[in-house]
Amino acid sequence: MVVKAPKILDNKFNFVYQELTENIRKGSKLSVVSALFSMYAYDKLKKDLNKIDGMRFIYTKPSFLRDDKKESRQYYIDNNSIFGNDYEIKLKNELTQGSISRECADWIREKVEIKSFKTPNEAQPRMICVDNKDDSSIAINGTVDFTTAGLGLNKSDRQDMNQCVYGKDFVQSSLMQFNFLWDNEDYLEDVKDEVLNQMQTMHKENPAEFIYFLSLYNIFSDSLEELEGGAIREGNQIKETKIWNKLYKFQKDAVIGAIEKIENHNGCILADSVGLGKTFTALAVIKYYELRNDRVLVLVPKKLRDNWTIYTKNDKRNIFVDDRFNYDVLNHTDLSRERGKSGDIDLKTINWGNYDLVVIDESHNFRNNPAVKDRKTRYQKLMNDIIKGGHKTRLLMLSATPVNNKMTDIKNQIAFITEENDAALAHAGIDSIDQTLRKAQMTFNQWAKLPESQRTGESFIDNIDLDYFRLLDTLTIARSRKHIEKYYDINEIGHFPERKEPINIKSEIDINEEFPSLREINKEISRLNLGIYSPMNYLLPDKLKQYEEKYDTTALGGGVFKQRDKDNALVQLMRINLLKRMESSIESFRLSVERLLYNIDNVLSKIESGIDYNPDINIDVIDPDENEYENLLFGKKRKILLQDMDLVKWKQDLELDRQKLIHLLEESKKITAIRDGKLKDLKDMITLKIQNPINPGNKKVIVFTAFADTAKYLYTNINKWALDEFSVNSALVTGGGDNKTTLKNVTASDINDILTNFSPKSKERANIDPDAIDEIDILICTDCISEGQNLQDCDYLINYDIHWNPVRIIQRFGRIDRIGSENTEIQLVNFWPNMELDEYIDLEGRVKNRMVMVDVSATGEENIISKDQTMNDLDYRRKQLEELQDKVLDLEDIDNTISITDLTFNDFKTELKDYLDVNRKELEKAPKGIYSIVDIPSDLIGEIEQGVIFLLRQVTGTAESLEKNPLSPYYLVYTGIDGNVKFSYIRSKKVMDYYKKLCLGKNEVLTELVDEFNSDTADGKDMRKYSELLVETIEDIIGKKQETGVKSLFRKGGTAVVKQDIDGLEEFELITFLIVR
């Protein structure tokens, strides 16, 4: 017999599989050395392979993982090897892998032996020998792999070069080499069982919960280091500190996440909700960096300064004294000062650029970057002198409300992290921070115009550009109370107290009912000119331009802030202030009227003293601070020469106001404390609380008011009464120098001393002063302590007046509504104006409607607030206040508001982290392309339809669209059984929410559904129906990307259409799919 000449097999013209099909016959024995083994190669050649006597297979590299340090060795065969590689994506997407893997496993079990090199082999020999009894044996040597591409069964860009030799004699030399390896236990070890175990993961049925977490595992694979604290340097002793061991688990997770974001992105915004202990979390982050010998600066609102400085002092009240905190503390306002001292720091000589980490408490105070003439703003000082000055500065910002009423509120806070570099987060998939925020604001503006019934947080999230998700997810940590209760062991943390239904009180101003109603008082207020606050309106026409040039300011983008507009806005704000002070207390209103009258009298006196016109005096020439000009000028910061004003008109308006104010003052003086109906009701509520405590033995009450004058008035009329009637001590805290208390041996000037004696358990007084017994039970305070204080010993909080912003109400209640409270119940009491809510809203609305607000954006564009928009705001306000009357709200629960906790993937990441702790091995070994079947729960019937949730990974083509996909390169799509895409990847957050609702807790296979599915698909062999749905899904993805590209041309900054470079199934790899029946 003539032996055929050797042949080159390049899988372009001559194919490996052709030689195999021609030469494999019944009784053939195969010996294979390959880097890869694919079940799809078996499937394509199974007609021939099922005839063989047997096959010996050697993996040329250890394509499994082994950990010899553990008692039992672990194996993991590379998924791409068995279940298809990148050249077999189209085959994988036919969705028949379950049935194929089952058949392949049966074949391996019966006919195949598999071994693998124990250690990597640089030589990487590859071969296939077909040993037949006759002379038709062949040996193929070269680059061959046991995959469809390696055998030439499908097209690929592999550059193969194999030589095929024929005849038993020529094959023997190859078989000798193979047998030498096969029999050598030093080189190889048997891995057949491991391969079969791995294959079983493909064709076994999976619980829906496992597929859900497998999907999350793939989506957030790049975040695993963040979830597990990979950025914390080895050797750092943070976990041995007192502050670390004081934290709850959810706080420790936030510390790890914050450090990860700070290290990877230069900063983090910690936006946990009220009452979740952001200060302690931040202290742990600070300690981590201090242990690295980094220099730390903490910037705080002045009212919160003592909350931070206490931990740097050698003081009994410092519970972390052993941690030796050494950070500097400055007030936000110190950034506006060039000299003087802040604590022990000399502001004239401080080296602003020498801080490694800056922590900003209540960072939302920096959300604006206002234009100011002739000086640096505190924002500019922080940016230029601290962050950009000196060496690299990292940022940690704390705020429960980083986003207030604009999606761009967070822009200036992010700018600190990025040093105003718009492309600083390109590595995280955000090419332009500015464009991302602009698009989010456009969506918000459209959403804000919706009818109140449609303007829900959910509807906003459904429509927001998901780039905003990615941005917030990259830089923020935001958990809500519900998040903590759901994802952490509440028994370890301690429960939140139960909120009782709010008590709502409407008091008469005057017990004798002789004082005018709030409605009538508002009419009087609205008639006031308040020209004392708008001197620019009284300038002589020929002088106006000169003062505009002096006092108008220009924004960075070119827009102009007119001083006259500022004056007019101030007039309206003062009207509101008078109304709100009347609503607060008669005493606060009386004092305001007195002060206003005093100022008017001073101006009238100056006018009446006579001003002679002097042409040599010019506002641009004189020094306004010189004493010689004092009698010629009006104003504090922005001075105006009296001779430049229309004094006749101004005096006339001031005298009219004076007459009205005298009448209001005379009426208000009649209402003494004895006639004050609101004060009487407050005493009644305190009496009721002390005599009927809602928690055993707890007499404590906090009374909040927006005004220091009201707080002082209440303290004056309550402290002695409470001590005489109930033997309880009271305290007053206003944030100024007027703090007082009836408790002996307390330093009244020290807020911390007062609060420690009011809430001794939460402030750990026993460690500071173990002999102290007496406590403060009634605390009357302003909003100087509405943030950053843990006063959870108290269980009863009274809002003596209602703040315009309901967020402030929630922040106040957060002082006692805290995790780990010993109180089982807590009570909120709200004092309301004595009128119907609609009338109250309309009353405030008439005041606000007179305001013309000009919002000059960074581009200088004017945005005049229309009457319709104002009315929308009033509807919004009405809804919020109605809710506050019925229940206590969380920040994220206020309807028509956007909570940052809704705009990140923190919930999903937390769930994944907990699941990984127990199921990591299963997730790591799971192949791609597996599925589960789930039914629609009763609460989702009618909301979602039968269909499939596909998770795909884009492997080629344009990696991202201009309409950013926050899960890129993964695409999560919900396609209905009818082939219509119900939720595209652009609504990934919505799909993830449904995924979770469908799967969480379903940790067993639903056998009845599986049986139906197997019956419909011939045990997974006929998957055409689902493969067609996958095609529809991929076509939708391609269409969305192209549509986005076209839209971008009509957006500012848009420059390109996504290219048509996604041909179909080969572009996307199927990761998981969930069949919803």
pLDDT(1076) > 90: yes
Give the model's confidence band at 713: pLDDT under 50 very low, under 70 low, under 90 confident, else very high: very high
65 and 169 belong to one structural domain = yes
The predicted pLDDT at position 1013 comes to 86
Tell me if 844 is assigned to some domain: yes
> 824, 854, 886 — which closes off a domain?
886
Alpha carbon 720 to chain centroid, angstroms: 47
192 and 271 belong to one structural domain = no
Average pLDDT across the chain, whole number: 83
What's the rounded mean pLDDT across residues 986-1002?
89
Give the model's confidence band at 705: pLDDT under 50 very low, under 70 low, under 90 confident, else very high: very high
The predicted pLDDT at position 554 comes to 72
Give the model's confidence band at 856: pLDDT under 50 very low, under 70 low, under 90 confident, else very high: very low
Q: Cα–Cα distance between 227 and 220 in angstroms, integer?
A: 9
The predicted pLDDT at position 743 comes to 96
What's the rounded mean pLDDT across residues 246-262?
90
pLDDT(875) > 70: no
The predicted pLDDT at position 275 comes to 78
The predicted pLDDT at position 957 comes to 61
Tell me if 842 is assigned to some domain: yes
Dihedral sign computed on CA atoms, order 65, 918, 201, 1069: negative
Given the DSSP bridges, would you call strands 981-983 and 127-131 parallel, antiparallel or unpaired?
unpaired
Tell me if 575 is assigned to some domain: no
pLDDT > 90 fraction of the chain, expressed in percent and rounded = 42
What's the rounded mean pLDDT across residues 513-527?
88
- Biggest CA-to-CA distance, the chain: 133
Residue with the bigger pLDDT between 640 and 396: it is: 396
Q: Cα–Cα distance between 793 and 498 in angstroms, integer?
A: 14
User: Residue 871 carries which side chain, given as an amino acid letter?
Assistant: M
Tell me if 903 is assigned to some domain: no
1045 lies in which domain range?
214-222+927-1076
Tell me if 490 is assigned to some domain: no
pLDDT in tens, 560-591: 778 888 888 888 889 888 988 999 999 999 99
The predicted pLDDT at position 488 comes to 78
Bond preceding residue 62 cis, omega within 30 of 0: no
199 and 123 belong to one structural domain = yes
Q: What is the CATH number of the domain that holds 467?
A: 3.40.50.10810
pLDDT(1068) > 80: yes
Give the model's confidence band at 859: pLDDT under 50 very low, under 70 low, under 90 confident, else very high: very low
Bond preceding residue 969 cis, omega within 30 of 0: yes
Q: Cα–Cα distance between 821 and 761 in angstroms, integer?
A: 10
Contact at 8 Å (CB) between 776 and 743?
yes
183 and 315 belong to one structural domain = no
The total number of residues written for the chain in this structure = 1077
pLDDT(262) > 90: yes
Helix (H, G, I), strand (E, B) or coil at 115: strand
848 and 936 belong to one structural domain = no
The predicted pLDDT at position 858 comes to 22
717 and 809 belong to one structural domain = yes
Give the model's confidence band at 494: pLDDT under 50 very low, under 70 low, under 90 confident, else very high: confident
Residue with the bigger pLDDT between 879 and 726: it is: 726
pLDDT(876) > 60: no
Give the model's confidence band at 1065: pLDDT under 50 very low, under 70 low, under 90 confident, else very high: low
Q: Where are the beta strands (DSSP E) in 29-126?
A: 29-34, 54-59, 112-117
Q: Which residue(s) pair with 897 in the sheet?
A: none
Q: Is 349 exposed, middle or buried (0-12, 13-18, 19+ CB in 10 A)?
A: exposed
The residues near 322 (Cβ < 8 Å, ≥ 6 apart) are 242
Q: What is the CATH number of the domain that holds 90?
A: 3.30.870.10
pLDDT in tens, 189-235: 999 988 888 888 777 888 999 999 999 999 988 777 666 655 676 66
pTM over cut 0.85: no
Among 1035, 920, 949, 1026, which residue's Cα sits nearest to residue 97?
1026
Q: DSSP letters along 517-581, please?
A: PHHHHHHHHHT---GGG-GGGGB-HHHHHHHHHHH-EE-TTS-EE-HHHHHHHHHHHHHHHHHHH
803 and 778 belong to one structural domain = yes
Residue 954 belongs to what H/E stretch?
A: strand 947-954
Give me 786's structure tokens: 């509405």
The predicted pLDDT at position 869 comes to 40
pLDDT(1048) > 50: no
Q: Cα–Cα distance between 648 and 667 in angstroms, integer?
A: 29
The residues near 308 (Cβ < 8 Å, ≥ 6 apart) are 279, 298, 300, 327, 329, 361
Give the model's confidence band at 373: pLDDT under 50 very low, under 70 low, under 90 confident, else very high: low
What's the rounded mean pLDDT across residues 367-396?
81
The predicted pLDDT at position 871 comes to 39
Please tell me the number of Cα atoms within 13 Å of 733 on its side-chain side: 28
pLDDT(295) > 60: yes
The predicted pLDDT at position 553 comes to 79
Tell me if 757 is assigned to some domain: yes
Contact at 8 Å (CB) between 1038 and 1062?
yes
Contact at 8 Å (CB) between 59 and 82?
no
What's the rounded mean pLDDT across residues 646-666?
95
Tell me if 370 is assigned to some domain: yes
| Range scoring the smallest mean pLDDT among 168-182, 569-583, 888-902 | 888-902
Backbone angles phi, psi at 750, to 5 degrees: -100, 105
Which segment, 132-136, 219-223, 592-596, is predicted with the most confidence on average?
A: 592-596
| Range scoring the smallest mean pLDDT among 3-12, 417-426, 904-913, 941-950 | 904-913
Tell me if 229 is assigned to some domain: no
Q: Cα–Cα distance between 1051 and 1044 in angstroms, integer?
A: 10
Alpha carbon 979 to chain centroid, angstroms: 34
| Range scoring the smallest mean pLDDT among 321-335, 615-629, 802-816 | 615-629
Give the model's confidence band at 522: pLDDT under 50 very low, under 70 low, under 90 confident, else very high: confident
Give me 224's structure tokens: 């695993």
Domain count, the chain: 5
100 and 134 belong to one structural domain = yes
Token pair 């296939």 in the structure block, residue: 128
What's the rounded mean pLDDT across residues 313-335?
92
Q: What is the CATH number of the domain that holds 683?
A: 3.40.50.300
844 and 933 belong to one structural domain = no
Give the model's confidence band at 316: pLDDT under 50 very low, under 70 low, under 90 confident, else very high: confident
The predicted pLDDT at position 1007 comes to 87
Give the model's confidence band at 91: pLDDT under 50 very low, under 70 low, under 90 confident, else very high: low
Contact at 8 Å (CB) between 1043 and 68?
no
403 and 264 belong to one structural domain = yes
The predicted pLDDT at position 132 comes to 93
25 and 116 belong to one structural domain = yes
Give the model's confidence band at 848: pLDDT under 50 very low, under 70 low, under 90 confident, else very high: very low
Give the model's confidence band at 67: pLDDT under 50 very low, under 70 low, under 90 confident, else very high: very low
> 616, 645, 673 — which closes off a domain?
673
Q: What is the CA radius of gyration of the chain?
A: 37
Token pair 């300690």 in the structure block, residue: 287
Residue with the bigger pLDDT between 479 and 961: it is: 479
| Range scoring the smallest mean pLDDT among 13-17, 39-43, 202-206, 956-960 | 956-960
680 and 661 belong to one structural domain = no
Give me 342's structure tokens: 């802040």
Contact at 8 Å (CB) between 518 and 583?
yes
